């Protein structure tokens, strides 16, 4: 454990030294202006987790979806209006994203303590970290100082988020576009070890893969189990299945074990075994939970720096759902 923690520290330090100055984020950003900021967010996450353990996966995914569209600026939190359909109502996000009420609760408490100080983008970054930790992953320091964006467009979610049908080449390019390596793509894909998927995202692999029926790469027993949970022709848009049937609320190496066994839920999961380099990463992660956890923490810090707004850019929203008037 000591060696792994040293590895986490080394990975994070190396990244912050190389990238910390250029993005103007820093650990402890609110220590002088709102010292309780991270504690308030952690409390909100813990309270929500007690009521619904699945909220951790929701908050982790929300941070990912925020950062991949316009950068980590909290734009995924903005509500749609009569004149604009926002990111959260784009098909990749609606109805699957969840946990907005946790961000609302933390923001409300923080506005009562230190009004106009803590950004929604930082609250989401803190909440994602706390969700990882409460789910069994390694905690890490979150560089903060993000400011909130003022634009949120459904169309940009569609064009920036990796679809469940993506192959390894497409995934590599999508992540590269955000400054993340192929190895970091494989590492971050492990986030699929917690949470759930709507049957509508799984059905194409079960019933209409390339117009031929079931995806032949899908483990037969696993496919049968999925079909029982997601019947063909099902019209219930709220029907869901766990991403990891064994430990759906624990951030562990189960995702990689499943992928090796042809039980990756999405094409974008199973495709990692079609490339020698990514398959080697999958095997390494499957065999060493602590090593993967360390890499995951470092990759989350790096992802959290994508396209951030700092200084006088953007704003500090009073309500995470609405741009300041």
Binding residues for substrate, as ranges, are 162
Alpha-carbon distance of 296 to 92, in angstroms, equals 23
Catalytic residue among 19, 63, 65, 198: 65
Cβ of 20: how many Cβ atoms within 10 Å?
16
Residue 61 · residue 195 · CB < 8 Å = yes
The binding site for Ca(2+) consists of 66, 69, 71, 73, 75, 87, 193, 244, 252
* Angle at CA of residue 88, ends 267 and 134, nearest 5°: 70
Question: Which residue has 């899908």 as its token pair?
Answer: 218
Please list, in sequence order, all residues whose beta carbon lies within 8 angstroms of the beta carbon of residue 288, skipping any fewer than 6 positions away: 253
8-state DSSP, 80: P
| Catalytic annotation present for 65 | yes
For residue 308, report the phi and psi dihedrals to the nearest 5 degrees: -70, 150
The upper half-sphere exposure of residue 16, i.e. CA atoms within 13 Å in the direction of its Cβ, equals 18
The binding site consists of 66, 69, 71, 73, 75, 87, 162, 192-193, 244, 252
- Measure CA of the first residue to CA of the last residue in the chain; give whole Å: 49
Alpha-carbon distance of 193 to 206, in angstroms, equals 20
Structure tokens at 148: 């909130």
Cβ of 302: how many Cβ atoms within 10 Å?
22
The binding site for heme b consists of 192
The DSSP element (H or E) to which 197 belongs, if any, is strand 196-198
Torsion sign (Cα): 261, 258, 256, 211:
positive
Question: Which residue has 């995924």 as its token pair?
Answer: 76
For residue 232, report the phi and psi dihedrals to the nearest 5 degrees: -60, 135
79-118 burial code (b ≥16 CB/10 A, e <16): ebeeeebbbbbbebbeebbbbbebbbbbbebbbeeeeeeb
**Which residues participate in catalysis according to the annotation?**
65
């Amino acid at each position: 454990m000591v060696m792994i923690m040293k590895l986490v520290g080394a990975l994070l330090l190396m990244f912050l030294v190389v990238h910390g100055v250029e993005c103007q984020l820093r650990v402890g950003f609110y220590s002088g202006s709102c010292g309780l900021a991270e504690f308030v967010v952690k409390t909100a996450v813990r309270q929500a987790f007690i009521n619904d353990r699945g909220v951790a996966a929701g908050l982790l995914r929300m941070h990912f979806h925020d950062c991949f569209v316009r950068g980590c600026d909290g734009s995924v939190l903005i509500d749609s209006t009569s004149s604009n359909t926002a990111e959260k109502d784009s098909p990749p996000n609606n109805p699957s994203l969840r946990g907005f009420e946790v961000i609302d609760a933390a923001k409300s408490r923080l506005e009562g303590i230190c009004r106009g100080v803590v950004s929604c983008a930082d609250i989401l970054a803190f909440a994602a970290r706390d969700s990882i930790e409460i789910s069994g992953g390694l905690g890490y320091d979150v560089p903060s100082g993000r400011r909130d964006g003022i634009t949120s467009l459904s169309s940009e979610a569609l064009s920036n988020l990796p679809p469940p049908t993506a192959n390894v080449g497409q995934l590599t390019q999508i992540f590269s576009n955000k400054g993340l390596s192929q190895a970091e793509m494989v590492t971050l894909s492990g986030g699929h070890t917690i949470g759930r998927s709507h049957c509508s995202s799984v059905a194409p692999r079960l019933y209409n893969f390339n117009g031929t029926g079931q995806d032949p790469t899908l483990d037969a027993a696993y496919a049968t189990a999925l079909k029982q949970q997601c019947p063909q022709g099902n019209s219930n848009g709220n029907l869901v299945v766990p991403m990891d049937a064994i430990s759906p609320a624990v951030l562990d190496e189960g995702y990689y074990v499943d992928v090796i066994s042809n039980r990756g839920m999405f094409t974008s999961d199973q495709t990692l075994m079609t490339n020698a380099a990514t398959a080697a990463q999958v095997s390494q992660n499957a065999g060493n939970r602590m090593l993967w956890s360390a890499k995951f923490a470092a990759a989350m810090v790096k992802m959290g720096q994508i396209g951030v707004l700092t200084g006088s850019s953007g704003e500090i929203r009073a309500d995470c759902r609405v741009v300041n008037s």
